[in-house]
Amino acid sequence: MTRSTRSFRTDMTPTSLRRLSIRGAGQDKRKEIRGAVTWMVPALVGKRMAGNLDITVRFVQNLGRYVGDCEWLDDNISPRQFLIRISTQQSARQQLITLAHELTHMKQFVKNELFDYSTDSERSRWRHQVIDTSKMAYRDLPWEKDAYATQKPLTDAYVKWLKQQH
């Protein structure tokens, strides 16, 4: 699969989510992340869908070998409630990139591009194709390729928008 160049409009405006909670960070970091989430989520899923989502972003010290993760909390069929965890063991810029990566996974679940089988942790469905995750390297999983291809362009577009606001 070839990495495509993703682009995002920088004239987007932030959109309120149904619920956004940010834990494990100080007031300045919470403000920064609230701004990023309310801009990135509508860029990924559209304003209407953004208004139907509950997202908790939790900053944690140790995620093992990962710097972030995203999980649905309500139902594996059309989930609307998500927990995103981000490691504090990375720079502020890298935390934004990790946030963009994990929000891309959220988008994949919301748009039914990615589906986790709750009865078989080694199988997932990506765009109508069932994939045995035990037979693929992490970086070769198509949803990871998509998230890696999206994370930097989304972060760069947000930072550009933020600079235009000041």
User: What's the token pair of residue 8?
Assistant: 């995002």
Q: How far from chain centre, in Å, is Cα 66?
A: 14
Residues 6 or more apart whose CB falls under 8 angstroms from that of 102 comprise: 68, 69, 70, 84, 85, 86, 147
Residues 6 or more apart whose CB falls under 8 angstroms from that of 75 comprise: none
pLDDT in tens, the chain (166 residues): 445 568 898 888 899 999 999 999 999 999 999 999 999 999 999 999 999 999 999 999 999 999 999 999 998 888 999 999 999 999 999 999 999 999 999 999 999 999 998 888 899 999 999 999 999 999 999 999 999 999 999 999 999 999 999 8
User: What's the token pair of residue 19?
Assistant: 């619920």
